[in-house]
Structure 1
Amino acid sequence: GGQGLNPSHCGFYLSCLHTVTPCFPDGMLKVAHEEGVQGLWSGTVPSLFLVLNPAIQFMTYEAIKRRLHEVYGLQEFGGLVYFLIGAVAKAVATVITYPLQLVQAKLRHGHDYKDLPPRPNMLQLLSYILNKHGLAGLYKGMEAKIIQTILTAALMFTAYEKIATFVFKLLRSHQTKTKY
């Protein structure tokens, strides 16, 4: 049978955890020593560009929603409409930014391209992949990522719209009660 967690073992486990897990400065020193100071900044430029993903996602979502409001003249849509708009918006953002996500991963975790230096910059890596593998090479592996991210974003936008609608109705009803 299971013994459960013996409290006398906790100190041992915690001491092991402390010796195995380095603190942040130790980790930085290790990276700087093994990869040079440049290694501390590996993947930073693509990460900065990846702030475009949520910006594109929200801009696309709002543009589609605004257009649907203009075309159909409705103030609110059903949950399925918000779900679909959110899915399309995330798909657009992911397709636009996926090559940067791919490059970021290769800069962080390394690559196996023999014709490139071990630590190429973002443009070298993008250019190499495009030249060797074509446009399809920039999107390798996207299908595994896109399903999960689209569903997550679609659910997030649906929940956001439903919660916002509820809160605004609640605030409006509270305002009319306090006016009189």
Structure 2
Amino acid sequence: MSDALINGLAGAGGGIIAQLITYPLLTVNTRQQTERDVKRQKRKHGTIEQMCQNEGWGRLYSGLAPSVVGTACSQGVYYYFYQVFRDRAEAIAREQKMNGIGDGSVGMLSSLVVAALAGVVPAATMHHVHPSQSGTNVLLTNPIWVVVTRMQTHRKNSKKSQLSHSSIAPAEKVLDPIEPHPYGTGHATQELYDEAGIWGFWKGVFPTLIMVSNPSIQFMLYETMLKKLKTKCVLVKQGDTGVSALEIFLLGALAKLGATVVTYPLLVVKSRLLAKQITTGDKRHHYEGTLDAILKMIRYEGFHGFYKGMSMKIVQSVLAAAVLFMIKEELVRVLHFC
């Protein structure tokens, strides 16, 4: 197998494992990002406790199946193209060294360009991106992430919440209906289509396309730190450039931390657009598009609204990126021996 294919398969495998480990945190973070009810925000209980008490632990895994499929596709394609461009960049660097230019390694700016191209080219040629993780595959996989967000933010009616809603005589009680079936992929897809038609599956695509900067920043930081670490290993370990799995884990965590802090406001806007729109007449809860969402968030919530749930997102994304990088590198080593 070629290096690009090996990295693509390893990236898909690492992405799936990271997604399985951190998915409950991702669901909670999506709930936090899309929360606009002031009364709910002031409750004593946290988002996780509310979900588990009122809806059950299973709600933490809502949308897991389509999310795993989307992650495998986006990460696999991204790492495939990333390795293709990385190999080309390294070849150019070696040629430049032979001509007396540079040291033969790929610099920080080149790493940024490689990561950006890995996100942009597949989107332009294959028409598909995971909006919160990479810039690849935007147009084709956007419907998957809209459905996943709907499933994560869907609030299930419970018997406990029904009883708390009623304070009138039993004969006059009007209870919210208990969902006869779990809110699955089919339900979310049909609801979205009924609400906005076929174009509803491409909600939030504009901020998603801009999110290509997230993996670009992440890989620029990762490759730069990895290069310095390998240089240090050569000096300390007498020529051995091997990097341990723990060191890869920490590098991946630091790189994702930097990228998340910079791009988080865009992620909040995207989640707001993908979640079910509230049509109760309160204009604060209904967004016509990206610009409308940004302006209303500034007006009604202030700039701090763009950073809701950021602490949870940092934990989730940093842990997921660290696990992904570590698993991917280990899978690459295994696949090279196959």
Larger gyration radius, structure 1 or structure 2: 1
**Does the CA-based 8 Å contact 2:214-2:259 persist in structure 1?**
yes
Partners of 1:53 and 1:153 in 2: CA distance: 12
Query: Which of 274, 292, 295 is the equivalent residue of 1:108?
Result: 274
Count, aligned residues: 150
Post-superposition offset of 1:85: 0.5
* Fraction of identical pairs, as percent: 33
User: Quick one: structure 1 residues 113 and 121, their matched pair in 2 at CA, closer, same or farther if it must change by over 3 Å?
Assistant: farther
Per the alignment, residue 256 of structure 2 pairs with: 90
Partners of 1:113 and 1:139 in 2: CA distance: 26
* Structure 2, unaligned runs of 5 or more: 1-180, 235-239
Q: Does 1:53 align with 2:53?
A: no
Per the alignment, residue 332 of structure 2 pairs with: 164
Query: Which of 268, 275, 292 is the equivalent residue of 1:124?
Result: 292
Partners of 2:321 and 2:292 in 1: CA distance: 31
Q: Does 1:99 align with 2:260?
A: no
Per the alignment, residue 65 of structure 1 pairs with: 226
- Could you say what secondary structure the match of 1:105 adopts? helix
Question: Quick one: which amino acid aligns to residue 122 of structure 1?
Answer: T
Farther off after superposition, 105-114 or 80-89? 105-114
Question: Quick one: which amino acid aligns to residue 58 of structure 1?
Answer: F
Post-superposition offset of 1:146: 2.0
Partners of 1:166 and 1:21 in 2: CA distance: 35
Q: Does 1:149 align with 2:310?
A: no
User: Quick one: structure 1 residues 128 and 63, their matched pair in 2 at CA, closer, same or farther if it must change by over 3 Å?
Assistant: farther
Partners of 2:304 and 2:286 in 1: CA distance: 23
1:128-151 deviation per Cα after TM superposition (whole angstroms, max 9, x unaligned):
434554443211112222212211
Per the alignment, residue 176 of structure 1 pairs with: none
Q: CA RMSD in A?
A: 3.7
User: Quick one: structure 1 residues 132 and 31, their matched pair in 2 at CA, closer, same or farther if it must change by over 3 Å?
Assistant: closer
Post-superposition offset of 1:66: 1.4
Matches within 5 A, 1:1-40: 27=190, 31=192, 34-35=195-196, 39-40=200-201
Partners of 1:148 and 1:82 in 2: CA distance: 17
Q: What TM-score comes out, normalization by structure 1 length?
A: 0.62
Farther off after superposition, 124-133 or 39-48? 124-133
User: Quick one: structure 1 residues 118 and 153, their matched pair in 2 at CA, closer, same or farther if it must change by over 3 Å?
Assistant: same
**Does the CA-based 8 Å contact 2:233-2:242 persist in structure 1?**
no
User: Quick one: structure 1 residues 64 and 118, their matched pair in 2 at CA, closer, same or farther if it must change by over 3 Å?
Assistant: same
Partners of 1:114 and 1:23 in 2: CA distance: 25
Per the alignment, residue 88 of structure 2 pairs with: none
* Structure 1, unaligned runs of 5 or more: 1-16, 172-180
Per the alignment, residue 12 of structure 1 pairs with: none
Higher helix share: 1
Partners of 2:217 and 2:185 in 1: CA distance: 37
